[in-house]
Amino acid sequence: MAKSAKLRCVILTPQKPVIDTEAVEVVFPAHDGLLGILPGHAPLLCNLGVGLLQYHDANDKKHYCMIAGGFGHVHDDVVTILANDAAVRGEVTTAQAEEELLLAKTLPSHTPEETESRAAALKRAQCLIRLSKME
């Protein structure tokens, strides 16, 4: 397939399709750090972490989405994010995100599994707070 100057960015969750748009760059949180994708990127499959996905449209406007877990796939200038959970800016208020943070802080952390789950919930809530405060 001929390489284009643009990417297609698709974000899906088990509940719904979240985003299907054109972008010139996509940056998303993999399990081990941020990955930046430009047109012509080599095929890729990776586990996702919890964090903010960012993409730039053709007008160089930045757009953000919180993603939490799942898989990222890049092939033929299509970035597909199969996320366990996702939220775009405007879906969650700062008050809702702060309430989620308070709830996450009450989660138990007696076992390694509970500690990992609590850490993910805290990071998710913190990302939602950042997302809700973006203009």
State both tokens at 74: 């890049």
Q: Which amino acid is at 29?
A: P
What pLDDT shows up at residue 82? 97
What pLDDT shows up at residue 4? 57
* Alpha-carbon gap, residue 50 to 85, rounded angstroms: 9
CATH 2.60.15.10 for domain 7-88: yes
Under a CB-based contact definition with an 8 Å cutoff, are residues 7 and 39 in contact? yes
State both tokens at 72: 């990222």
- Which parts of the chain register pLDDT below 50? 1-3
State both tokens at 59: 């007008």
Query: Which residues, including other chains, have CB under 8 Å from residue 6's CB and lie 6 or more apart?
Result: 22, 23, 24, 39, 58, 77
Give me the residue spans of the domains in the chain: 7-88, 94-133
Chain center to CA of 74: 14
